[in-house]
Amino acid sequence: MGRKPSSKPTSFDIAYLAGVSQPTVSRALRGSRSVSLATRERIEAIARELNYSVDKNASSLRSQRSNTIALLFFEEQTPDESKINPFFLAMLGSITRSCANRGLDLLISFQKMEDDWHVRYQDSHRADGLILLGYGDYTLYEKRLTELVGHETHFVRWGSVRADNIGATVGSDNVGAGRLAGEHLIAQGRRRIAFLGQADDHYPEFADRYRGLCDVLTEAGIAADPALQINAISYEDAGQRAAEQLLASGAAFDAIFAASDLIAIGALRALTTAGRTVPDDIAIVGFDDQPGASMTNPPLTTLSQDLKGAGELLVETLLAQIEDRPVSNRTIPARLIVRKSSCR
């Protein structure tokens, strides 16, 4: 059944006739650049036809900002009770400082992916927009992102930056980081480089790191051996099991690039138990430069992500959406931190 027009036309009537959402109508009538010219002209024509006039008081009330943004952590599988990737806890400080410097309040919330967090935040006025950190399996997460886009919720996420991203994304140059790891290991004389990390659509950041490694191997004339890629998600026990599986396979390898420091630390434990020495027998490179990376034995070579820059870009990208300024995905280069675990 079609929508019955009100005695006095409203933005919802225009939305129905234009085949768009009510927030799109509101933005179009404000002249927002986030609405295409064709859609804006269609909405304006319908508004004129209905003799619709904007209620300035109501419009002002609706457009009032809370000057609060919400930071949502998502529960991940961890060996302890925190359920939060330590990397995201480290990023919290830079996001908090960036908000404080802009006079914004920060609402921090811990969510389970299966909960209806996307509904609660898009239908409330507790925050002007969302920063999303952590997600586990991306194939489960992307449905929620699509719903946020459909409801025109302001949000930005930390993750893999690709052409088919859903919504605004800020992330590390994971392909470039994989290249750095591969180039370093090859320069150390390593040729049989294993990758520990689930490198598929479920974990696109890990997949990008593996792709960067494979690109460098190919350029060096070294065939990437699929038998040297072992799935693991980001915690120590998973890294240990992956390294044990690699050792049990009998495949020859002289280096490991782990998709995270936690995976690398678990792999180091497995190699030590098996009597393999690091770096003499096997070189190891991790990713994240978490605090524990410099305290392993030997200290872990790793890729460092720019936490300060990440927090700044996440907040700035979200503010650009809220203020109807142009928004683009942003990629931050990683930096190789060389320690003893990869150098004889």
Which of 127-131, 135-139, 238-242, 332-336 has the least mean pLDDT?
A: 135-139
Domains 68-171+307-332 and 174-305+337-342 share a fold: yes
Confidence band, pLDDT 50/70/90 cuts, at residue 48: confident
Which of 30-44, 114-128, 298-312 has the least mean pLDDT?
A: 114-128
Structure tokens that stand for 184 in this block: 């370093």
> Average of pLDDT values for 155-172?
88
Confidence band, pLDDT 50/70/90 cuts, at residue 341: very high
pLDDT at position 61 over 70: no
pLDDT (tens digit, 9 = 90+) per residue, 78-111? Answer: 555 555 666 777 788 899 999 988 888 898 877 6
Backbone angles phi, psi at 52, to 5 degrees: -80, 135
Res 1: pLDDT: 45
The Cα–Cα gap between 39 and 19 comes to 10
Strand runs (DSSP E) across 78-224, as ranges? 105-111, 129-133, 155-158, 168-172, 193-196
At a CB cut-off of 8 Å and minimum separation 6, what does 248 contact?
A: none
Res 85: pLDDT: 65
On average, the pLDDT of the chain sits at: 85
Res 193: pLDDT: 98
The Cα–Cα gap between 344 and 342 comes to 7
Residue 201: helix, strand or coil by DSSP?
coil
Residue extents of the structural domains in the chain: 11-54, 68-171+307-332, 174-305+337-342
At a CB cut-off of 8 Å and minimum separation 6, what does 132 contact?
A: 72, 74, 155, 156, 157, 158
> Average of pLDDT values for 235-255?
95
Res 57: pLDDT: 46
User: pTM above 0.85?
Assistant: no
Fold topology of 11-54: 434 Repressor (Amino-terminal Domain) (1.10.260)
Confidence band, pLDDT 50/70/90 cuts, at residue 62: very low
CATH 3.40.50.2300, applies to 174-305+337-342: yes
Its CATH class, for the domain covering 68-171+307-332, is alpha beta
pLDDT at position 307 over 90: no
> Average of pLDDT values for 147-164?
84
Higher pLDDT, 18 or 284: 284
